[in-house]
Chains A and B, each alone.
Chain A
Amino acid sequence: MTRRGLTLTGLSVLVLIAYPWVFSSNYAINLGFLVLFAAYLGQTWNIAGGFAGQTSFGHVVFFGVGAYVSTILQTAYGVNPWIAWLFAALGGALLGWIVGVLSYRAGLKGAYFALITLAVAEVGRIVANSVPITKGGLGILLQADPRPANFQFRDPVWFYYIVLALCLLSLLTAWQLTRTRFGARLAAIRENEDAAQALGIDSLREKVKCLTLSGGLCGAGGTVYVQKYLYIDPSIAFGVDKSVEMLLVSMIGGAGTVLGPLIGSGLLHVVGEVTRDLGNMLPGVSNAQPLSLIVYGALLIAIVAWLPDGLMGLFRKRRKEARRA
């Protein structure tokens, strides 16, 4: 990244750290949490989908597995939540590894890979609904006991900072992917897998590593969600909504870019807010949420069609043109 890019990023990070001091209402902090959380999950998707070109439609399965692992360990086995968090990440990583090995060994790519991840998420949902350890459709309630040792906090600002830290961690990871050989290999695989293999890259190994990393980070996100909202059930854990959310946020911001998911998350929030206000202004309109979703769908189409590098691609284009001028 250029020095300008680094300064900008550094400034943004400072802004994000300072945010709860400026907008200090619980409501604003809560919203900040949601934006950063969506950006974090989007970044985990981006690592596989953007950097390695492995578009996945079922990424929520890692989130769900992470959420259930840490919750079940806490409630049924009395494990400390922080330790359970580690296991959640490990669970997500393990699942990522399994899905990666199975799918890539079978040579699945592109749409086939996307669809198989969707099917895996669906299996997850059905299993979660059917087995006693997850309490099935009843869901699991975490007893509210807000102590830091219990990974629960009375003041929501702690969750904000935890998610900010995770977000920064994922940004760093993504940034590393742009600088290391591992990332370069993934980029080669993304651009032309056959050529990459011809160059001697073991694409199977790299893709599996990538999906494992992505799954692990995503699983960690699952735990944070349950610690904050204290409840999980199969539809929250494995519903397609989150998969689509992760995908949208990355694609619109710029798949394969470092800041893409963060920008995408910010933009989609703004869009959501604007369309809701629009909905409130239109007479006789009582349901505005579909409007915002229609806009998201249109944005997705527009981005895929005209701005395949998302918003970040737009910035890059402008910068290139500015330099040429």
Chain B
Amino acid sequence: MYTPHTPDEIQAMLAAIGVPSLEALSSVPPGLEIKDKLGLPPALAESDAYAHIKALAERNGAARMISFLGAGAYRHYQPPAVPWFAMRSEFLTAYTPYQAEASQGSLQAIFEWQTYICLLTGMDVSNASLYDGATALVEGVIMALHAKARHRVIISRGVHPLYRAVLDTYAAGMGIEIIELPVGSDGLTDFSVLGSTPPQADCVVVQTPNFFGNIENTAAAAELARAADALTISVTAEALSLALLKTPRELGADIAVGEAQSFGLPVGYGGPYVGFIASTKEHVRRLPGRLVGETTDVDGRRAFVLTLQGREQHIRRELATSNICTNQALCALIATVYLATVGSKGLRAIASANVERARQLAQAVSAIPGFSIAHSSPFFNEFCLRTPSPAEDIAARLRERGILAGLPLSRFYPELTNMLLLCATELTTTEDIRLLTAELAKEHSRAVAAV
């Protein structure tokens, strides 16, 4: 038991308070007591609990399969140094760093995260983290809303469908109109559909690389934004791409949002991950959540402290820039330790390996008759593969043989029944590619035989 009280101690404490029993002290008004058993399973001894949960972990066969799944959660190498240092008790069991004197470790780590995000995105300022890439997009949209007050968002259909679904949830409650830009047969956003006088909006949102894996023309998005008197928001779902590609800032974005799970966080059945948000300096006061700044203490030492708290919920209450309180501090720390551990050199090498493996994969699978790469646009580590028969069926059959053959796109784009989204990372081996190719070749034979 985690409570240390002995019976004698309980008696002594009750006597000090002047109450006869624990029951008397913690009683609730009549009618509110819990009368019956709640039906929870009986308490387990620690070793039994461990065994029980271990068995549940082992019942997730998909965790052991050869995986070509990306689509917003990426399987990357986690150097052992990363959890070794990031999960130290002094970081893991620390509280939010409101008391600067007691939290310089956490505060400096956040300052370093903020700096890394700025260096990666080319932006001037970044916050201390948000829940994930999808909610980071929502917060970016809210920033633009505060700047322009039009309640209208222009967003590419190439932005991750789950990010758009989350935006839709918030937009419904906040009275925001969403205008979608289509993705063409080239797998890229068509920025021309709104013509030369688009409706005025708060923001234009584009994801690059987009959900289909293709590198988008962010400059075209910025041009549309200018015509719409809107801010440009660039979304990054695969943060590793920032190591190689031109920064959102260079491409004309005002706000950069995204997901940093690729930096050392496990895919972990969906979370916790870590969202980032960064902007040019004119928007600093609109940034949501926590910000860490550098200052000095009374003795002149360098010190870090939470700042601009006037924007936040605990001071500004209903006029706060956002309601966010707890964020993803430890996940941001894991990402920061990852970036420190791999460095510029390592990050570029890992990103280059992703580019190379994805091309090897693309070459191998497109050589199978009946299969072809859907788009000719440049990609990072994901691409779409056209299949000879419905992708859902192919994926289901390959699952039975221990392979997760990417994501059938019909799940989110019902018109794309014969398309798979495939991802290769630095962890994808030649053997993995060979096995996938062999199994897909069988699918071709199957499709031919069915005709």
Do these two chains really belong together in a complex?
A: no
B contacts, CB < 8 Å to A = none
